[in-house]
Amino acid sequence: MENESRETSTTSVIQQLPSSISNKIAAGEVVQRPSSVVKELIDNSVDAGARTIEVTIEKAGRTLIEVKDDGCGMSSDDLRPCFLRHATSKINSVEDLSRILTLGFRGEAMASIASVSQINVKTKRVEDENGSELELWGGEERRLEPAAVDDGTTVTVRNLFFNVPARRAFLKTDATEFRHILITFQQAALANNDIAFHLRADGENIYRLPAQSLADRIAAIFGKSYRASLIPVEEKTSVVDIYGYLIDPKMAKKTRGEQFLFVNNRPFMHRHLNYVILDTFNNWLRNKEYPFYALFFKIDPEQVDVNVHPSKLEVKFEDEKSISQLTRSIVTKGLNEHFRVPDLENLERNQSQPRSSTGGFEDFGFEQPPASRPKDFPSPSQSSGNGGRFQGKPPMPMDGNEAGKNLYDTPEAPSTADTGQSSLDMGKALRQNNFWQIHEQYIMSQTLTGISIIDQHAAHKRIIYERALSEAESGLPSTQQLLFPQTLEFSASDFQLLKQLEPEIVRLGFNIQLLSGNTAMILGVPADIQSGDEYRLLGEILQQYQTLSNSLSLSKREKLALAYANKTAIRKGKRLTQEEMESLIDQLFSCDHPYFDPLNKPTLLYIPLEEIQSRFQSKKK
């Protein structure tokens, strides 16, 4: 009896999970977000030999993802097996895993997608008289019947994660999820430029791309301005063939997202190769910029492992070192030829020379980008804020142990009692003395009990941020109408973001009209923007907003105001006149929070006279 009890307890502990649960677990790896579904369905269409692939999206893929192709289609006998786990037509043996050339091969995607959605598949082979239609909800079959459909396959996925509400709750905003879909679509369109691709979202055509050359495909996706700036590269070796396009570093952006790598036409991610390419570009880039590149690696499939992760975005090369060295070599060669650099020795000699305040771009034929600061500082009477009332608190003095440290280790402003001055007294003291600019980035002034040093960029960022928020809230921004309105073309992702932010951008002072074809007409700009700089500035504000969206929990309006302030505040290295420094100080102390920039970094440091005097005292032996 005791043995029977022990037997019963041991055999009941481990159980095989039903397919309804195991498929949902697998879906967590394969279907991470709507863009994962788009990728898997497009991969199947490409593997099916499609010449045209049409993608339709609603609500960033939450409610609808549809992919239609004119590929080989499936027979009715293959429809049910298509949704079984580990069922595939791509491989037949273990040996096949070492020579994979198709995009799909694991046999997990369709089962995973079906388990967390309401899916409908219509398909027909060319040689068949009739097609078939299959519908599943949460992996459970609802109907399978003959259907009159076009040659090829149409997969319609509705209500993704309808039966896994926890997964649905973890999805980001529609703008973020659609941006991931755009990147997935762009990867597929670049890798298969001989296939026509169409993308439609919420009733609007985003892309209609015919089969075309790779250079034309790049220009069609990212804008006509890219066409003239592309740098072709190509190298054939016994290890790997590498070809593709780089772009003139002048077109680099402040945000990632336009860096593409493909191995045997499969998009992949590789941290080290991306580092190698960006490091090679670094000789021609300004600080923290990311250039476009699309590089294709053709290699013996036995020399690369694509079966690393269910997402199939990670790969491992057998000879990583050679691939890395060849990548650096081809990028260096392409850039050197583009800039007519005679040889690497000459390039290294140029690098060893001290750079000018412009960053040395003129040495390689760059135009210095136009300043994005306002033309002139407005007079104190024009500044926004609280009419000159100083509600912030001044910084505390340093004692002998605090010299050289950041006085703003915490976001709480120190007490005015520590300085013996009120905020108003400190503002007056600053205003009554001359200002000195240090290294064209700091403004120094004598106070009653010491000296104050102001960071001109941080101070101006605080001024613009509060002004932008004030004007946005009042709905009365100051706008200067352009004499000649400009029609500008944006990338699809930037245009979608522009549509989303249009009401808030108008509140900043932009007067824009959205047109078809990812274009917009700019009729007016904020009053303090330099004429002729509208397109670059608006594009950079959108890029900055995306960066902030990934790292800050601010409201849409606050993030946009911060992005605007970051891109329009005067930069380090700008020489200011005495009048400009006075105006800057007046406006800063008219702000609600003058001692911190919008990210709580200090705008002003105070060093008491006692601290200065202590530095000149003789050291005791």
Cα–Cα distance, 385 to 188 (Å, whole number): 50
Residue 185: pLDDT band with limits 50, 70, 90: very high
Backbone angles phi, psi at 510, to 5 degrees: -80, 140
Distance of CA 123 to the CA centre of its chain: 37
Residue 9 lies in a domain: no
What proportion of the chain, given as a percentage, has pLDDT over 90? Answer: 35
Q: Are 106 and 310 in contact (CB under 8 A)?
A: yes
Residue 225, CB-side half-sphere exposure with 13 Å CA sphere: 13
Q: Is 410 exposed, middle or buried (0-12, 13-18, 19+ CB in 10 A)?
A: exposed
Residue 234 lies in a domain: yes
Q: Which of 280, 312, 347 is the last residue of a domain?
A: 347
Determine the average pLDDT of the residues in 131-144.
94
Question: Which residues lie closer than 8 Å to 349 by C-beta, 6 or more apart?
Answer: none
What proportion of the chain, given as a percentage, has pLDDT over 70? Answer: 73
Is pLDDT larger for residue 244 or for residue 559?
244
Determine the average pLDDT of the residues in 329-344.
81
pLDDT of residue 26: 53
Determine the average pLDDT of the residues in 61-65.
96
Are 302 and 378 members of one domain? no
Question: Which residues lie closer than 8 Å to 567 by C-beta, 6 or more apart?
Answer: 372, 537, 540, 541, 544
Q: Is 344 helix (H, G, I), strand (E, B) or coil?
A: helix
pLDDT of residue 28: 52
Secondary structure letter of residue 432 according to DSSP: T
Q: Which of 169, 187, 211 is the last residue of a domain?
A: 211
| Cα angle for residues 118, 124, 126 (degrees, 5° grid) | 160
Domain extent, residue 70, equals: 19-211
Of the candidates 314, 295, 292, 313, which has an alpha carbon nearest to the alpha carbon of residue 240? 295
pLDDT over 60 (residue 424): no
pLDDT of residue 582: 87
Structure token pair of residue 321: 């070192």
Residue 14 lies in a domain: no
Distance of CA 265 to the CA centre of its chain: 23
Sign of CA pseudo-dihedral 483, 503, 559, 494: negative
Cα–Cα distance, 573 to 358 (Å, whole number): 9
Residue 353: pLDDT band with limits 50, 70, 90: very low
pLDDT over 80 (residue 91): no
- The string of pLDDT tens digits covering residues 538-590 is 888 888 887 777 666 788 888 888 888 888 888 888 888 888 888 888 889 88
Are 227 and 163 members of one domain? no
User: Domain holding 225: CATH number?
Assistant: 3.30.230.10
Structure token pair of residue 280: 């090679």
Are 199 and 243 members of one domain? no
Cα–Cα distance, 590 to 463 (Å, whole number): 8
Residue 1 lies in a domain: no
pLDDT over 90 (residue 41): yes
In 509-616, where does DSSP find H-type helix?
534-549, 556-568, 578-588, 609-615
Q: Which of 211, 244, 266 is the last residue of a domain?
A: 211
E strand spans, 403-470: 436-438, 442-446, 450-455
Are 206 and 222 members of one domain? no
- The string of pLDDT tens digits covering residues 394-404 is 443 333 333 33
Are 438 and 568 members of one domain? yes
Cα–Cα distance, 579 to 603 (Å, whole number): 19
Q: Are 514 and 520 in contact (CB under 8 A)?
A: yes
pLDDT of residue 586: 87
User: Domain holding 207: CATH number?
Assistant: 3.30.565.10
The lowest-confidence range among 80-94, 114-128, 193-207, 220-234 is 80-94
The lowest-confidence range among 185-194, 356-365, 424-433 is 356-365
pLDDT over 80 (residue 422): no
Secondary structure letter of residue 290 according to DSSP: B
Q: Are 193 and 211 in contact (CB under 8 A)?
A: yes
- Give the orientation angle of helix 578-588 with respect to helix 456-474, to 10 degrees: 50
Of the candidates 386, 390, 379, 385, which has an alpha carbon nearest to the alpha carbon of residue 595? 390
Residue 358 lies in a domain: no
Supply the Cα-derived Rg of the chain in whole angstroms.
Answer: 30
Residue 255 lies in a domain: yes
Tokens 């089969």 belong to: 211
Are 262 and 167 members of one domain? no
Are 486 and 507 members of one domain? yes
Are 314 and 414 members of one domain? no
Are 597 and 545 members of one domain? yes
pLDDT of residue 209: 96
pLDDT over 80 (residue 122): yes
Secondary structure letter of residue 302 according to DSSP: G
Number of domains in the chain: 3
pLDDT of residue 482: 82
The lowest-confidence range among 80-84, 164-168, 365-369 is 365-369
Of the candidates 511, 534, 524, which has an alpha carbon nearest to the alpha carbon of residue 480? 524
- The string of pLDDT tens digits covering residues 434-466 is 788 888 899 998 877 888 899 999 999 999 899
Residue 3 lies in a domain: no
Cα–Cα distance, 156 to 307 (Å, whole number): 27
Residue 94: pLDDT band with limits 50, 70, 90: very low
Are 454 and 492 members of one domain? yes
Are 546 and 436 members of one domain? yes
Question: Which residues lie closer than 8 Å to 7 by C-beta, 6 or more apart?
Answer: none
DSSP-assigned letters across all residues of 142-160: EEEEEE---SEEEEEEEST
Residue 411 lies in a domain: yes
User: Domain holding 573: CATH number?
Assistant: 3.30.1370.100
Whole-number mean pLDDT of the chain? Answer: 78
Are 420 and 506 members of one domain? yes
